[in-house]
Amino acid sequence: MERLYPNLILDALKNVRYPGNGKNIVELDMIEDDIRIDGNKVSFSIIFEKPTDPFIKSIVKAAETAILTYISPEVDIKGNIAVKSRMVLPEKPASLLPGVKNIIGVSSGKGGVGKSTVASNLAVALARKGYKVGLLDADIFGPSVPKMFGVEDHQVFMHNVDGRDLIIPIESHGVKVLSIGFFVDKNSPVLWRGGMASNALKQLIQEADWGELDYFLIDMPPGTSDIHLTLVQTLGITGVVIVSTPQEVALADARKGIAMFMGEKVNVPILGLVENMAWFTPAPHPDERYYIFGREGAANLAKELNVKLLAQIPIVGTICDGGDCGEPIASKEDSITGAAFLNLADEVIEAVNNRNNTLPPTSKVEMKH
């Protein structure tokens, strides 16, 4: 093998192009001036604009392959490429929920795609797998979680914890649940300005006894609003699950939602996309599929945006019946949709674990691949 020197490494890395713009990573000034050579061992750092760049793993892999291909397969490079970020992350908000391990937002670009159904059943599925789960219905203007859990008429109480009077969440199907729906007339619209809604939401987070939780799910309002910013600024959210149907009109709004969370002002990781109402299956004929809202729309969007497709949830009559009767379908493992939500729970657990395993210890990302 010929003697190694920095320019030889850079020449090899010119064959690695960043997806989307066609420019190579050397041209884009992504290689830090820290190339180290010790015999046949080579190490250096690649700098990305954001620590949440979706192409980090693929670029690192491509850089390793380029060096082994264009220089020599004897170069010791695997595991020696560090990743850094030019963006300094804002400090994580002080934890208002110190007993909560993971905070997951469930969001959608528009209403009517089954976001609350997904949030409720995901919460139940996680609880059935033995996790401690809480669910906050943050859809201030259209709270539907109480009905889905069959607790619309339950009265909420408070108790004293270490000198503080805290709201006691309602427990149903193994999930701790709170919603603005417990405090307003269910037959009257909530006519609040954005500030009032945000303050009510903060109160449900700060002044409730959530206790120790493995997963705290937030059923967010549809669309993009100041309530989303309130949640992001108030809580250190682990990641967000985006819900859409296969329809083009829903996908267009899903794009906006994903762009909002990935933007610099919010900068919350996308755990993945759920395609709800992916097809209709008659309960007596589980092998039949009717694509009444389009086919593979959200699945294709996930590929396009390099976002993980967490699940495709079919429409079966029992999912509507269960929600209307206060019995989330995820509580019935032997049903088609119940099994789909249990699989979704597994995918979310894996996505959260992957996210936690790659979190930077400080605001500047520097990790080995």
What mean pLDDT, rounded, does the chain reach?
83
Among 15-24, 49-58, 69-78, 168-177, the minimum mean pLDDT is found in 49-58
The answer, yes or no, to whether residue 362 has pLDDT greater than 60, is: no
The answer, yes or no, to whether residue 67 has pLDDT greater than 90, is: yes
From CA 368, how far away is CA 366, in angstroms rounded? 7
Query: What is the per-residue pLDDT for 155?
Result: 85
Query: What is the per-residue pLDDT for 269?
Result: 86
pTM, rounded to two decimals? 0.69
Distances from the Cα of 343 to the Cα of 59, 126, 206, 312, 316, angstroms: 30, 10, 32, 10, 16
Q: Please, what are the domains in the chain?
A: 7-87 (3.30.300.130), 100-357 (3.40.50.300)
Which of residues 108 and 234 earns the better pLDDT score? 108
The answer, yes or no, to whether residue 222 has pLDDT greater than 90, is: no
pLDDT band at 88 (very low <50, low <70, confident <90, very high): low
Mean pLDDT of 10-32: 89
Residue 94: count of CB within 10 angstroms of its CB: 8
Q: What is the 3-state secondary structure (H, E, C) of the chain?
A: CCCCCHHHHHHHHCCCECCCCCCECCCCCCECCCCEEECCEEEEEEEECCCCCCCHHHHHHHHHHHHHHHCCCCCECCCCEEEEECCCCCCCCCCCCCCEEEEEEEEECCCCCCHHHHHHHHHHHHHHCCCCEEEEECCCCCCCHHHHCCCCCCCCCEEEECCEEEECCEEECCEEEEEHHHCCCCCCCCCCCHHHHHHHHHHHHHCECCCCEEEEEEECCCCCCHHHHHHHHHCCCCEEEEEECCCHHHHHHHHHHHHHHHCCCCCCCEEEEEEEEEEECCCCCCCCCECECECCHHHHHHHHCCCCEEEEEEECHHHHHHHHCCCCHHHCCCCHHHHHHHHHHHHHHHHHHHHHHCCCCCCCCEEEC
| Residues 320-358 as b or e (16 or more Cβ within 10 Å = b) | eebbeeebbbbbbeebbbbebbbebbebbbebbeebeeb
pLDDT band at 110 (very low <50, low <70, confident <90, very high): confident
Among 25-29, 95-99, 307-311, 339-343, the minimum mean pLDDT is found in 95-99
Instruction: Looking at mean pLDDT, say which of 64-78, 241-255, 260-274 comes out highest.
Output: 64-78
The answer, yes or no, to whether residue 175 has pLDDT greater than 90, is: yes
User: pLDDT (tens digit, 9 = 90+) per residue, 266-299?
Assistant: 778 899 999 999 889 887 787 888 888 888 888 8
